[in-house]
Each structure stands twice: as structure tokens, then as C-alpha cells.
Structure 1
Amino acid sequence: MVTVLTTDKSKVKNGWIIDVSKFVCWCQCCWNIPSLFPLLLPVVLLLSSSPLTFCVASPTAFDPPAASPAPSLRTTQSPFRPKLAILVTVSIVLLLLLLFAMGFLLKFLRRRKPTAAIGVADEEKGRDVSVEEGKGCVKRFKWDEIKGFTKDFSRLIGQGGFSNVYLANLSGSALGAVKIHVGNDRLNQVFKQEVDILTRLRHDNIVKFLGYCDDQEEGAMVFEYVPNGTLQEKLHGKERELLPWKTRMSIVFQLAEAIEFLHDKCSLQIVHGDIKASNILLDERFNCKLCDFGSAKMGFSSTVVPPRTKQIMVGSPGYTDPHYLRTGVASKKNDVYSLGVIILELVTGMEAFCPERGQLLTMMVASNLRGIAEGGGGTAETVAGMVDPRLDGEFDLEEAKAMLIIVGLCLQQSPTARPSAAEILQTMKDKIDSVDSRLSPPAKDSHR
């Protein structure tokens, strides 16, 4: 008698599938590669979709040999295809080898990431060991290097409300200025924001940012050294110098160029937010270098943009846009207002705010500015009377008039009525013949 045995193909293949699954899991754990089961599932279903049937002859009780026919072996046809199985097996092996190679490559690249890709990652954060932009690079210093540059902070050359500036001896004979921020949560945030902005800036009339250090609670920023002090010191200091008319016009023009760069030529538009005479450095040729971006903001349009939440920030007396103080709405036109005040200081030689009298320069000359803008009688006398008397008449009357008209426009109550920095530059190019974007070395006695 022949017994026909039929068994499910899945029982035969279950062990093989489990072994393959274990191998796949081992690969995945070792190499951190994505799960392979979604890729192998169709293949597993293909191989396990049909039953496998076997027929086996088994001796049992049977009739006498003379009366029975010869025993026959009955089988059922199996759908198992050897060629297909071989092809699928080879494909799986090749796939596993490919994934094994990919896992090895990924692990190799991850090992190399700290040395090969750290520069890119840090550059994207804007706070990098070697961020290169335009001219020069920004470096991340260690605190010991900062102490070495400044000779343990031995020479103080400047001081602000929340920072001190020290003279630094950099590599070779180069001098630098190191600004140390007092550490607390709010000021640390201001420090990080200022570093982020400074790494984006490269302009002849913006102080060059060389590097920073954030190892300690106090943040440190390293800048080029600008030897001639600030415009505040030159115009209103105890040992103030007499800046010639041409030098004053060039300072205004350069400052307007720096502001135009911030507003219109940066990848992210920047509002400085604290333009004043003490934040304008002068180099050995009395060229302008705008500094101190601690109050700067990024991403503002050329017109007034109301923020979702008002952030009132008290500015410097005499320079801050009254509209901003009333509303907390920051825009590029805040800088334009401050530029108007700077021009007024350079033309008149007077301070933006007189602490002794408690008076704003803009309020003191408001009626004269309106008369000049309207072109009323006695304009020439009015203009001449407003120009710094220390110049002793050595200025161009038409240029002075043009500059005071620009001042009147910059100080408009409505920010939208004020000109842009680009428009101010164009006006100066058209009407100020003595302007020069770069100044040559001054004569020894020309600024005394």
C-alpha cells in the first residue's frame, strides 16, 4: 500500500526564513542601517505562498502477491521551481552584500565627520572656528589665548554699560581690540546674536570682526584695532580736534554706505539699532568704521514692519527714533533717523543730547530745519548760522544747505516719509562735490 503524505511548504521554509531574519537583524544592529524587512517581505511571501507536497511509499498489510497488481507510487506535482528559487536566493545574497557594504561605508563616514565636516556644521550655525566670508576669516579663540593677547587684561581702552574693551597684541605686530561682555542669561543671548551678525559682515566701513571666545561665562570678541578713537571723542571730547569740512562729509558718506550695505546688500537685511557718534570709530586716515552690533536685528524690510510682539528697547538719548520709542516697531528707518542726527552733529559741531541742559539737538534746530526745507527768506544766513563756528567759514554753503535738507528728511515723524540710505548716497553724489568714499592720510596739522 502506498501512503500519500502532504506537508505545508511553509514548515520546511520557516527555519530558513528565521535564519535569514536573524542575519538581517544582525546587520541592522551592527551598521545602523534602515530596516530591511520591507524590502524582503515580497520575496518571503513569494517563496512561502504555495504548499509543498511529498508522496512516500509505506509498507502495510496487503493482499497476497498473486492477486494484487504491482504497487504504484502516486505523487502530486509540486509548484516549486528550482530555477526561480536559485535566482531569488542569489538576489537576496547580493542585496545583503550591498547593504553590508553600505553599512560599512556609513560607519566609516561617521568616524570621519568630526574632522571633515565640522567646519560646514559650524558655519551653518554662524559661530565657527573658521568661517570665511568675503575678506578674511573669523576664528574661535580659547580663553587662554584671549588672556595672552591682552596681557591678562592689563590695558583698558574703552568701557560701556555691559562691556570693557582691552588692547590686544595679536600675531606679529598686529594690534586688536578685545571686547569682554559681562555674563548673565540676557547678555549671553545678546552676545550670541552679535556674533551671529558679525560673522556675516565684511565692509570697509564696518569694523572688522576677527574672532570670538565663548569658553567662559564672559564672552569675548576680537576686532581690528582702530587707532583714532570715536567720532564722539573727536567732536565733543576734552581734547577734541577740528575736523575739516571735507573730512566730515566723507565720514557721512561712508557711514551711509555702511548703512546701505546693512539694509540692502546683506543676505539677511540688518537694522543696526544704535547708530551714534560713540559707535563710529575713525582709523588713521579718519575713515569711518561702524561698530557695536549688540542692538542689531536681522530680517527687516525697507518699510515699517510691525512685529508680532512689541519689543521696546530704550536707545541712546538724542539718537533714537521717537516713533520707535512710542511704538516699539523696529525698521530700517530707525537707522535713517539716527543717521540724520549724526549729520546734524557734523554740520553744527553740537552734541545730540546735552545732559547739562537736558535738551535734544533735534528739538533745538527744528524750526531752522523747517525754514530751510521751505526755502524761506534768509536761508543763506540761517544755514551759515547753523554750521560749526570753529570751521571759521571754511565750508561750502550750498553743500551745507543740501546736508541740512537731508537732515530734515531723515527726521520726519513718519518713518515711511524718510529716504533710504541709498537715496541719501545718491543725493550726496549729486550735490556734495567734496565727498570722497576713502580719505587719504591727513596732513599733520589739518585736524588741529
Structure 2
Amino acid sequence: MGRFPGCGGGSTAAAAAVKVHCGGGERLSMAFKQELDVLLQLEHENIVKLLGYCDDADQGALIFEYVSGGTLHERLHGSGSNKRSTLPWKSRVKIAFQLAQAIEHLHERCTLHIIHGDIKSSNVLLDGDSDCKLCDFGSAKMGFSSMIPPPSSLPSSSPYVRRKNIIMGIASKKNDIYSFGVLVLELVTGLEAFRADKGLVLASMAAHMTKDVDRMDVSEVTNMVDPRLRGDFNVEEARALIGLARSCFNESTLVRPTASHMVKMMKEKVSSISFTNSNSRHKFSNDL
């Protein structure tokens, strides 16, 4: 059985992406149903759109809109044949803000609040205009709890999750916030979340460097920004994003910002974002 609301009925064929859950078994069946249940609740411009699904006895398939620009990880860190042009500063700011809005939708706007559980740059898709779409809800949990089993697919050494939370079996909204902070640092610094060459985790590297971000002078902020930008960025915006990331790493989950607070902070402190009063959509002044 299946449902394909985005397929058929017209003469124009649209590209789609398919995620297949192969093999039988109760555990796989539950994982597919859990992801499908979450996806059926979602409708947001910065979350990948589910077009349809198939759920026969042996395997399940999820059909998504096709997003042409690849992943954020590929765009920031691609090398060799996968090397891309440098992602401009304003595009990075836009992606950070759009992702914050997507997380706000999951955490606070859905009838049953949703924890994504695996926010990372490889789970952020980009279209041709560098607008982002959060994807892969295989680890998502619906209905908020501060003590639910962490997803079995999440590595115990993930640089996007605070290790203490994995050990204690904690999966919460504030885990998503921590992961968002790591991703924001990736956007600002251009560094990978885990530096395999040095065995260093980006969040740990940045923690001691950003303690007094408000007191950092221009040169100190500049030294933290991706050198591939060649100075083409707004220093105060970079300072604000570094400060936001830092707040997401707070040892106390109670002190970490909520998604709505992150959106509010970016509206107030990131000058290249302008907002219309007619609706919740946004635009970026002089966007690329």
C-alpha cells in the first residue's frame, strides 16, 4: 500500500528522491513507521517535503522532493572532484537562519513537538539558491521527553552531540540546539565538525576560544572566520553567530537557548536579514 499525492495526474514529470527501507523484521518496520509518522506531520519551507510513500510487507519507500544543490557538508567541505565554489557569507547567514526556523517549527509549532535527533551538515540539503531543507528524520522522536532512548544509528562519538548526553541516554530538544551550535560554527569557520587530521572536535576547539566573544577584537573574530571568504563578511554578524553557537554549548541544558530564542536573536543581531510584516517568510537584503 502507499500514498503518492505528488505523483500522477499531470503531464509534467518531477524529479524525486527515494529512501528505501530494505528487508523485513519488526524493528525495521517500526523504524519506517516512526519516520513516516513524523514526516506526515511536517510542512515547512525549510524541511524536505514528503511527496509519497510505499509500505508493502518486505520494504518501505519514502519519496521526497528532489533538492538539486547537494548537502551543506559537500558545499562546505567538498574536495577533489566534489570541490565546490566558496559558499558566500550571506548564504551562510541565510542557511543558519532558515535552519533555526525549521528547528523552531519542530520544537514549538507542531501539535506534537518533534526532536530531530541528528542535525548535521550532511542532513541539510541546498537548492540552487542556497535555500536549505532539513532532511533525514530517521532518528526523530515525536512528543517531548527529556529522557528517551537515543537513536541507535547515532555514533557514540558524534561531534554534533554532547557525549555526556549519549552516555546518560538523554535525547531532548536541547540536544538539537547543541547540534545547531556545531553547525553554525561550521558555517562561520569553514571547519568540519570533526577534524580527523588533528583528532579534534570543533565544539571543543571553539569552547575555549569564544568564552568572551563580546570582548573579542576585530582581528580575533576575523581569525575565526573561514579564510576562503577573503574578508568578505560582516564582522559583527560573525561575532553574533559565534556567540549564538557558544550559548548552544552551555553545560546546563536549561541555559541553552530555545529555538524561538535563536530565531529572535538572529532577527535582532544579524543585520543582513530583513523581515516583512505581512507573513513569516523572510528575505535577505542584497542576497546572492
Q: Would you call these one fold, judging by a TM-score over 0.5? A: yes
Residue 382 (structure 1) aligned with residue 223 (structure 2): no
When the two chains are superposed, the root-mean-square deviation of aligned CA atoms in Å is 2.4
Question: In the TM superposition, what is the alpha-carbon distance from 1:183 to its structure 2 partner?
Answer: 2.1
Amino acid at match of 1:226: V
Aligned partners of 2:3 and 2:54 also within 8 Å: no
Seen in structure 2, the aligned counterparts of structure 1 residues 432 and 314 have a Cα distance that, compared at 3 Å, is: same
1:201 CA drift (Å): 0.4
Q: Is the 8 A contact 1:312 1:328 kept in 2?
A: no
The corresponding residue for 2:277 is none
Q: Structure 2 unaligned runs (5+)?
A: 275-281
CA 1:177/1:439 → structure 2, altered by over 3 Å: closer, same or farther?
Answer: farther
Structure number with the higher helix fraction is 1
Tell me the number of residue pairs that the alignment of Structure 1 and Structure 2 aligns.
274
Spell out the pairing of 1:405-420 with structure 2 (5 A cutoff).
405-420=243-258
Task: Indicate the structure whose relative CO is greater, using CA pairs within 8 Å and at least 6 residues apart.
Answer: 2
Question: What percent identity do the matched residue pairs reach?
Answer: 48
**Which of residues 21, 45, 51 is equivalent to 1:210?**
51
| 1:379/1:313 CA distance change after superposition, 3 Å | farther
Over 3 Å counting, the alpha-carbon distance change for 1:356 and 1:264 in structure 2 is same
Matched, 1:244 2:84: no
Q: Alignment partner of 1:223: what SS?
A: strand
Residue identity in the other structure for 1:419: P
Residue number in structure 1 paired with 2:242: 404
Partner of 1:269: 113
Partner residue in 2 for 1:299: 143
Deviations 1:110-135 (A, max 9, x none): xxxxxxxxxxxxxxxxx9747xxxxx
CA distance in 2, matches of 1:171, 1:215: 27
Give the distance between the partners of 2:206 and 2:188, measured in 1 at CA. Answer: 12
SS at match of 1:368: coil
Task: Give matches, 1:224-243, under 5 Å.
Answer: 224-238=65-79, 239-243=83-87
Say if 1:392 and 1:441 are closer, same or farther in 2 by CA, change over 3 A.
closer
User: Structure 2 CA distance, aligned partners of 1:361 and 1:196?
Assistant: 33
Output the CA distance in 2 between the equivalents of 1:128 and 1:173. 19
**Taking structure 1 as the reference length, what is the TM-score of the superposition?**
0.57
- Quick one: distance in 2 between partners of 1:366 and 1:184? 44
Matched, 1:257 2:95: no
Cα shift at 1:424: 0.7
State which of 1, 6, 13 in structure 2 corresponds to 1:173: 13
The one-letter amino acid of 2:243's match is I
SS in structure 2 of the partner of residue 370 of structure 1: coil
- Aligned partners of 1:280, 1:257: CA distance in 2, in Å? 13
Which residue pairs with 1:191 in the alignment? 32
Instruction: Tell me: CA distance 1:356–1:218, structure 2 relative to 1, closer, same or farther (3 Å).
Output: farther
Secondary structure of the structure 2 residue equivalent to 1:417: coil
Residues 205 and 288, structure 1, Cα contact 8 Å, conserved in 2: yes
Find the counterpart in structure 2 of residue 427 from structure 1.
265
Spell out, residue by residue over 1:8-46, the C-alpha distance to the aligned partner (whole angstroms, 9 max, x if none): xxxxxxxxxxxxxxxxxxxxxxxxxxxxxxxxxxxxxxx
In structure 2, C-alpha distance between the alignment counterparts of 1:415 and 1:222, rounded to whole Å = 35
For 1:415 and 1:287, how far apart are their aligned partners in 2? 29
Distance 1:276 1:352, change over 3 A: same
The answer as to 2:236 corresponding to 1:392 is no
